[in-house]
């Protein structure tokens, strides 16, 4: 049997490890648009210059070779033919599969705010490429603005504080990390950041960004009337599951790929795991989904029961 996994993510790698541990003779192919495997949870360590790219990998150097896994890196899947059981890559190659796991994660989303999408110094903080681009910006920037005070935003903020930037965090709600912390904990967490020089603007939102003559955002305007200077802007205010390549495949979606409790889609032999399912947005859940999807692809019937 040949199992193709799209995405060298937490879910994708977890699935591959599970498959090879259970049935070593199963052919496994992992396709990823990146040229390295890295932990999204450790991107702030890279941006803060505490670790290099190799230091934020969560697999051994010989993971693919020692497990007999084919890794097609720097390869983007552009379409899926569920009837032929093939996926097509950006270089026009068709990859056949017996069973397929979609583990492509999610991508940051730039809100349609005047000036924000046009500015050249606006970045996400979702993968190593984002962190590398921000790393370059941090060499010359003085003022950084983070839009969104969730986990990703706070990670970006701490890394840029470590690089010596003046960091302002803008959040629409009344507290930082409102999905993870209660009010008391959020206040304590915020105070720790403020002790390192961060400024927080809560209960406010960005309404426009002034873009200069070379296309860079320089001044952020808020609904309250406040303005904030910015040399670099990080968007951490929401993500969208990454699955544009399945258009026309027949796979059911809403804001994410819809799966049952067994993590199978409505199409036989096609499963999904991790952020692309929209079920849970934290690392341990993604790894668990990858394991359960893998076992079910091998013919078992396990249930994923950690939905929000």
The predicted-structure confidence for 119-144, as pLDDT tens digits, reads as follows 999 999 999 999 999 999 999 999 99
**Residue-wise pLDDT tens digits, 258-302:** 999 999 999 999 999 999 999 977 889 999 999 999 999 999 999
Binning pLDDT at 50, 70 and 90, where does residue 178 land? confident
pLDDT at 307 > cutoff 70: no
Token pair in block for residue 167: 């960091």
Mean pLDDT across 147-160: 96
- If one counts every other C-beta atom within 10 angstroms of the C-beta of residue 43, the result is 24
This prediction's pTM: 0.92
Question: What is the model's pLDDT at position 165?
Answer: 98
Q: From the centroid of its chain, how far is CA 78?
A: 18
Helix (H, G, I), strand (E, B) or coil at 167: strand
Please give the residue that has the higher pLDDT: either 64 or 239.
Answer: 64
Which residue did the predictor score with more confidence, 180 or 78? 78
Q: Does the structure show a pLDDT above 90 at 2?
A: yes
The number of residues making up the chain comes to 308
Average pLDDT over residues 227-238: 95
Confidence of residue 238 (pLDDT cuts 50, 70, 90): confident
Average pLDDT (32-39) is 93
**pLDDT tens digit sequence for 95-107:** 999 999 999 999 9
d(CA 67, CA 21): 9
- Give the rounded percent of residues in the chain with a pLDDT score beyond 70: 99
H or E stretch at 208:
strand 206-211
SS percent in the chain: helix, strand, coil, step 5? 30, 25, 45
Share of the chain above pLDDT 90, in %: 91
Q: Look at residue 179 in the predicted model and tell me its pLDDT.
A: 78
Across 170-195, average pLDDT: 92
Question: What contacts 273, CB < 8 A, 6 or more positions away?
Answer: 11, 12, 14, 15, 101, 102, 103, 259, 263, 286, 289, 290, 292, 293
pLDDT value for 180: 82
**Mean pLDDT, rounded, of the chain:** 95
At 19, the pLDDT band (50, 70, 90 cuts) reads very high
Statement: residue 308 has pLDDT above 90: no
- Bigger pLDDT: 3 vs 107: 3
- Asked whether the predicted pLDDT for residue 27 surpasses 70, the reply is yes
Rounded to whole angstroms, the Cα distance separating 150 from 179 reads 8
Instruction: Provide long-range contacts, Cβ within 8 A and 24+ apart, for 243-248.
Output: 243/102, 243/104, 243/276, 245/77, 245/78, 245/79, 245/80, 245/87, 246/80, 246/102, 247/79, 248/79
SS3 of 298, please?
coil
What per-residue confidence (pLDDT) applies to 290?
97
Cβ distance 160 to 271 under 8 Å? no
Which range has the worst mean pLDDT, 34-43, 196-205, 216-225?
Answer: 34-43
Position 185 pLDDT exceeds 90 = yes
Q: What's residue 77's pLDDT?
A: 97
Q: How confident is the model at residue 91 (pLDDT cuts 50, 70, 90)?
A: very high
How far apart are the C-alpha atoms of 66 and 13, rounded to whole Å? 14
Segment 65-89 shows an average pLDDT of: 97
Which residues, in sequence order, are bridge partners of residue 208? 221
């Amino acid at each position: 049997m040949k199992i193709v996994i799209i995405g060298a993510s937490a879910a994708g790698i977890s699935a591959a490890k599970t498959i090879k541990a259970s049935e070593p003779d199963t052919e496994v192919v992992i396709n990823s648009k990146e040229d390295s495997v890295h932990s999204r949870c450790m991107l702030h360590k890279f941006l803060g210059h505490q670790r290099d790219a190799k230091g934020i990998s969560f697999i051994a150097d010989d993971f693919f070779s020692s497990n007999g896994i084919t890794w097609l890196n720097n390869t983007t899947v552009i379409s899926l033919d569920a009837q032929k059981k093939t996926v097509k890559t950006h270089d026009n190659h068709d990859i056949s599969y017996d069973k397929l796991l979609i583990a492509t994660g999610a991508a940051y989303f730039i809100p349609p705010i005047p000036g924000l999408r046009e500015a050249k110094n606006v970045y996400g903080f979702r993968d190593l490429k984002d962190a590398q681009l921000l790393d370059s910006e941090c060499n010359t920037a003085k003022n950084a603005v983070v839009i969104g005070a969730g986990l990703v935003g706070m990670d970006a903020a701490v890394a840029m504080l470590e690089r010596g930037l003046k960091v302002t965090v803008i959040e629409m709600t009344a507290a930082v990390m409102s999905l993870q912390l209660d009010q008391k904990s959020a206040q304590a967490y915020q105070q720790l950041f403020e002790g390192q020089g961060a400024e927080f603007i809560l209960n406010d939102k960005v309404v426009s960004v002034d873009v200069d003559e070379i296309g860079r955002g320089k001044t952020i305007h808020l609904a309250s009337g406040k303005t904030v200077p910015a040399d670099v802007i990080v968007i951490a205010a929401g993500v969208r599951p990454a699955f544009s390549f399945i258009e026309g495949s027949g796979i059911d979606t809403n804001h994410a790929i819809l799966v049952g409790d067994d993590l199978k889609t409505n199409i036989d032999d096609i499963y999904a795991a991790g952020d692309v399912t929209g079920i849970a947005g934290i690392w341990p859940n993604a790894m668990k989904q990858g394991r359960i999807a893998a076992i079910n692809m091998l013919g078992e019937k396990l249930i994923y029961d950690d939905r929000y």
